[in-house]
Amino acid sequence: MLYPIDTESRVVMNLNGVWKFMIDREVEAVNPAEPLPAEEVMAVPASFNDQTVTKEIREHSGYTWYEREFKVATPLMKKRVVLRFGSATHEAWVYVNGREVTHHKGGFTPFEVEIGEFLEQGTNRLTVRLSNLLDYTTLPVGNYSEHSDEEGNLVRKVDENFDFFNYAGLHRPVHLYTTPKDYIKDISIAPEVDLDKRRADVKVDVKTAGDFDEVLVTIIDEEGNEAGRSSGNTVSVAIDDVALWQPLDAYLYTAKVEGIKGGETTDVYDEQFGVRKVEVAGGRFLINGEPFYFKGFGKHEDTYVNGRGLNEAYNVLDINLMKKMGANSFRTSHYPYSDEMMRLCDREGIVVIDETPAVGLFGSFSFDLSILENGADSKDGTWEVMNTSDAHEQVIRELIDRDKNHPSVVMWSISNEAATYANGAHEYFEPLFNLARELDPQKRPLTNVYIMMATPESDQCSDLLDVIALNRYYGWYLDTGDLKTAEAKTRKELLAWQEKYPDKPIMYTEYGADTVAGFHSPYGEPFSEEYQEDYYRMNSKVFDEIDNFVGEQLWNFADFQTKFGINRVQGNKKGVFTREREPKMAARYLSERWNSIPDFGYKK
Ligand code: BDP
Query: pLDDT, tens digit, for every residue of 127-152?
Result: 999 999 999 999 999 999 999 999 99
User: Is 572's C-beta closer than 6 angstroms to any atom of ligand 1?
Assistant: yes
Q: Single out the residue in 256, 273, 290 at which a domain terminates.
A: 273
User: Is 91's C-beta closer than 6 angstroms to any atom of ligand 1?
Assistant: no
472: CA distance to ligand 1 center in Å? 9
**Is the link from the previous residue into 426 a cis peptide, with omega within 30 of 0?**
no
Share of the chain above pLDDT 70, in %: 99
- Tell me, yes or no, whether 213 and 78 share the same domain: no
- Tell me, yes or no, whether 242 and 367 share the same domain: no
Q: State CA 261 to chain mean position distance.
A: 38
By C-alpha distance, which of 80, 116, 83, 108 is closest to 15? 83
In tens, the pLDDT along 389-406 reads: 999 999 999 999 999 999
- Decide if pLDDT at 368 tops 80: no
Pocket test for ligand 1, best of 333, 359, 417, 576 (most atoms within 8 A of CB): 417
564: CA distance to ligand 1 center in Å? 14
User: Is 476's C-beta closer than 6 angstroms to any atom of ligand 1?
Assistant: no
Could you give the 3-state DSSP secondary structure of residue 541?
A: helix
Could you give the 3-state DSSP secondary structure of residue 585?
A: coil
Known catalytic residues?
417, 510
**3 is a domain residue:** no
**195 is a domain residue:** yes
pTM score over 0.75: yes
Looking up residue 415, the CATH number of its domain turns out to be 3.20.20.80
- Expressed as residue numbers, the domain containing 481 is 476-604
User: Is 339's C-beta closer than 6 angstroms to any atom of ligand 1?
Assistant: no
- Tell me, yes or no, whether 164 and 235 share the same domain: no
- Taken in order 91, 96, 98, 100, is the CA torsion positive or negative? negative
Distance CA 264, CA 288 (A): 39
Backbone angles phi, psi at 406, to 5 degrees: -75, 120
- Tell me, yes or no, whether 74 and 47 share the same domain: yes
In tens, the pLDDT along 264-320 reads: 999 999 999 999 999 999 999 999 999 999 999 999 999 999 999 999 999 999 999
User: Is 574's C-beta closer than 6 angstroms to any atom of ligand 1?
Assistant: yes
**126 is a domain residue:** yes
Contacts of the segment 365-370: beta carbons below 8 A, 24+ positions apart? 365/161, 365/162, 367/565, 367/566, 367/567, 367/568, 369/477
Supply the residue whose CA is at minimum distance from atom 4 of ligand 1. 163
Count up the domains in the chain and report the number. Answer: 4
CB 330 within 8 A of CB 358: no
- Tell me, yes or no, whether 219 and 94 share the same domain: no
416: CA distance to ligand 1 center in Å? 9
For residue 369, the model assigns a pLDDT of 62
Any bridge partners for residue 203, and if so which?
A: 190, 236
Supply the residue whose CA is at minimum distance from atom 9 of ligand 1. 163
User: Is 163's C-beta closer than 6 angstroms to any atom of ligand 1?
Assistant: yes
- Tell me, yes or no, whether 332 and 421 share the same domain: yes
Contacts of the segment 494-500: beta carbons below 8 A, 24+ positions apart? 494/542, 494/546, 494/549, 495/546, 496/455, 496/456, 496/457, 497/456, 497/468, 497/470, 498/283, 498/546, 498/547, 498/548, 498/549, 499/456, 500/456, 500/462
Cβ neighbours around 375 below 10 Å, total = 12
Distance CA 560, CA 431 (A): 33
Pocket test for ligand 1, best of 333, 474, 527, 555 (most atoms within 8 A of CB): 555
**Stronger pLDDT, 260 or 368, i.e. the higher one:** 260
Average pLDDT over residues 579-600: 98
By C-alpha distance, which of 468, 327, 478, 345 is closest to 408? 345
